[in-house]
Structures are given as C-alpha cells and as structure tokens.
Amino acid sequence: MLRSFLHKYRNVSLLYLILFFSVILLLLVALVVNQKFRSTAYNFSKVHEGNELINELNDVQSTLTTIGTDVRTFTIQGDHHPDLVLYKVHMDRKLKRIAELIHDPRQMLVLDTLQMNIETRFDIWNHMMSISPDSLKRVNDQLLLESSTLTNRTVGQISELRKNASTLVYDHLDDTEINIRMTGIIALLVTLFCISVIIFAIVRLHREVNYGILMQAELSKKVKELDRTNDDLERFAYVASHDLHEPLRKLYAFSEILIEREKNLSAEGLEIIRRMHTFVTRMQQLIDDMLQFSLNLNKVEKKVLDLNVLVKNVINNLAVKMNETNASVEVATLPAQISGYESQISQLFQNIVSNSIKYSRPGVAPHIRITCTEVAGTEIESVRPIDEKRKFYKITISDNGIGFDDKYREKIFVIFQRLHGKSEYSGSGIGLATAKRVVDNHNGYITAHGEENKGADFNIYLPKE
C-alpha cells in the first residue's frame, strides 16, 4: 500500500513539475515571439518611412529640375511664365515632410543646408524673372553659373540624404528578415516541444489509466474479501452470542434456584450468589451490546424518515426510565424528510437520550433538549474536503447531567471506553461507539462537548440531501 502511494505521488509530482516548466517555457517563448513581432513591426514602419523619404527627395529633385527648365525657357522665349509662388509652397511642404522623416542630427544639418540652397535658387529665379530681357542678357551668364553651382550642390545634398535613407531601409529589411527567420525557428521548436509534451502526457496518462485499472481491480478484490470477512464475523458474532447466552442463562437460572431453595446458606454465601447473579446479567447485556455493534449495518434499504415521529417513539420507549428519574425531554421541530435506516437512527437517538438520563446529577431531574439547525459543511469540525460545500442538519442533544471533561470528547466514542467506574454507572461502553458507527454509516459526523457537573452537548450532523 505504501509503495503504491509513493508510486502515485511520484508520478503526480513529475507531471506537475513538467507542467510547471512547460508553462514557464511557453511564457518565455511568448515573450520572445512578442518581442520579435514588435521589432518586425518597428522595422516595417522604418522601411516605410525610408521609402517615403526617398520618394520625397526624388520629388524635390524633380521639382527643382522642372522649375529650372521653366525659368530658362521663359528667359529665352519670354512666354509661359512659371508660377514660382506655387512651386515655393509645394517645395516648402515637401521639405517639411522630409524634416519629419529624418531623425539623424547629421542628416538634419545636411537638410538645413539643402533648404538654404533651395531658398537661394528661388531668389535667383525670382531675380531672373523680375529683370528686363535686355538686362537679363547681360547677367544671364553669371546667373546661370550661380544657378548651375547651386544645382550641383543641391543634387549632391539630395543624393547624400537619399543614400543614407536607402542604407537605413536595407538595414531594417535585414533585421526584418532575421526576425522573421528567428520567429519561424522558434515557432517550429515550440511546435515540436508541444507535440513532445502531448505525446509524453498521453503515454503517462495511458500508464496511469492502466495503473488505475489494476488498482481498481485490486480494490474490488479487497472489498469482496472485506465483505466476506464481515459476513463471517457477523455469523461468528451471532453464533458466539447464541452459544454464550445458553450457559449464561443456565448460570442465571441456577443462581436463582440457589437463592430461593437453599435457605440454609450463610449470609456470605447468599451474597456471593447474588453478586454472581449480577455479573451474569452484566455479561448478558455486554454480549447483546457487542452483537448489536458487530451486526452489518447495510442489510436494509434506506427510506425517507420523519425524525419528529421517530424521536417521539424513542421517548415513548424510554418512558419507564424517564418516570423513574423524573426526566423531561424538550424537542424542537426536526427534519420531516431525511434519508436513512430507520432502526439505526432510532438506536442512535435512544443511545444518546438514555445516556443523558443515566448520567444525571444526584438530586437533579434530567432535562434534555433536542434542537435542529441547518449548517454548511465548512462549520463542522474535521470535515472531509468532499463535504465542505454540502448542507447538513445539525441536531443537538443537550442535557444537564454530570457532563465530562472536554478533553475526552473524542475518547468517549471509542468502543469499551468509559469515563466512570462500573460501580457508579452501569453499561458496557458500547452505546456511543454504536452511535458513531450509525452516523458514519449515514455519511455524517458526530461531536461532543462537555463540562463537568454542568452537562453535555452531542452534535449530530446528517446530510440534507
């Protein structure tokens, strides 16, 4: 049994350990993949910005070429006056967008120089457009030289900006390719890992299922052996009690004959026979109690019981003993529908109520109160985990008797355990053990709390459903 438990515990621990590390690994992989996706998205955005920057620079260069061509055509032919204001607005918008796309400080310096050169070119073009044709012929060569020089500078600066943008685009494209390749590798590894974990889990589960089937078969075998042993014990208890009762009855009868017929016996002899008579009676009661405790409690079918009627019958059965002790029983409303074995539940209440009558304080009439409330499983001492969410009827039987030291509240339910001597109170020490067995057989709980010379409380918890 211990080896089976350790085997199962080791397997469960291994599965939990694998599951824990699998979750940690998947979280780490998820973080890495997320970082790769974020990096890829960033690189794509930079590639898009770089391409847009190249397009804007090409547009600027193309626009400058168009303006220069239009201005030269106008100065030579005198017609088709170019709209430099419109060109200037278009150029400013392009340069502003280029400035938004450049993040390198060194390239910003190049862009500033480019803007100054473009401003100077527009000044030259405006000057060429504003002078007369005769004057333009005299200064045309000089203006064309200055314009050509600025054009070369401008083209060089645009080429530098475009080259830098192209380099950044290619760098981000390389990073994107690496990220995509790494993400694919990681996805492949994670897929292989998940497949391996699934295969391992299936194999382990298959082994556990087979092990569970074997254990179930072994358990069924043990249950059958236990049932067979219980049947044998029941038959033995019945036969033993019957065989023991017979000589005891004869001893009892012979002791009575001696007491009635042998008048010449000494007082001491009569006292010995009377004591023997008492011991025989006590032995018969002990055998009856043991037989009742050892009988199989599952021979009859459960049925719906009205505890109000059942407890009333119990009190009627104890009427003689109650009259002798002037005892009173106060009963609150009890559950009218509860599933149980009638004879067992009757024995349960009879054992506890008769105990309360028996263990009364000298000179104080026994007063017993039976109450009932509904409680949750979590309110019960040492409740089983499976019963924590269930509802229970809590039936409390309280008395004003001699009570007991609360440290013995568990000991009193052990068979043959007595807190008082036989000379003080009669009994075999089986009544409360039988009560606990009945409650266990109904999947319930029973607890006790006492205080010396003040009384005791017995709490019976029976499942509501």
pLDDT at 9: 44
**Candidate ranges 293-302, 399-408, 456-465; pick with highest mean pLDDT:** 456-465
Q: What is the mean pLDDT of residues 144-154?
A: 71
Domain definitions of the chain by residue range: 2-201, 300-463
List pLDDT tens digits, range 248-275.
777 777 777 777 776 677 777 777 777 7
What's the mean per-residue pLDDT of the chain? 78
Between CA 64 and CA 151 the distance in angstroms is 8
Task: Assess whether the region 2-201 and the region 300-463 belong to the same CATH fold.
Answer: no
pLDDT at 2: 40
pLDDT at 178: 79
pLDDT confidence of 332, banded at 50, 70, 90? very high
pLDDT at 11: 54
Considering only 51-60, 278-287, 428-437, which range has the smallest mean pLDDT? 278-287
pLDDT confidence of 36, banded at 50, 70, 90? confident
Between CA 23 and CA 236 the distance in angstroms is 59
455 CB contacts (<8 Å, ≥6 apart)? Answer: 398, 399, 400, 401, 403
List pLDDT tens digits, range 100-113.
888 888 888 888 88
> Which CATH architecture best describes the domain 2-201?
Up-down Bundle (1.20)
pLDDT confidence of 3, banded at 50, 70, 90? very low
pLDDT confidence of 384, banded at 50, 70, 90? confident
Between CA 351 and CA 439 the distance in angstroms is 12
pLDDT at 296: 46
377 CB contacts (<8 Å, ≥6 apart)? Answer: 383, 387, 388, 389, 390, 391, 392
Taking alpha carbons only, the member of 409, 395, 393, 403 closest to residue 465 is 393
**pLDDT tops 80 at residue 448:** yes
Stated pTM of the model: 0.48
Higher pLDDT, 224 or 447: 447
Q: How are beta strands 367-376 and 328-331 bridged, if at all?
A: parallel
> Which CATH architecture best describes the domain 300-463?
2-Layer Sandwich (3.30)
Considering only 10-19, 193-202, 356-365, which range has the smallest mean pLDDT? 10-19
pLDDT at 457: 92
List pLDDT tens digits, range 167-179.
887 887 777 777 7
Considering only 15-24, 60-69, 130-139, 332-341, which range has the smallest mean pLDDT? 130-139
Higher pLDDT, 52 or 295: 52
Residue with tokens 């038959």: 235
pLDDT at 175: 79
Residue 249 contacts residue 277 (beta carbons within 8 Å): no
pLDDT at 8: 47
pLDDT at 463: 92
List pLDDT tens digits, range 353-363.
988 888 888 88
pLDDT at 144: 60
**Candidate ranges 76-85, 141-150, 154-163, 428-437; pick with highest mean pLDDT:** 154-163
Q: Tell me which amino acid residue 199 is.
A: I
Higher pLDDT, 194 or 322: 322
pLDDT at 366: 92
| Token digits of residue 438 | 């009945």
pLDDT at 391: 92
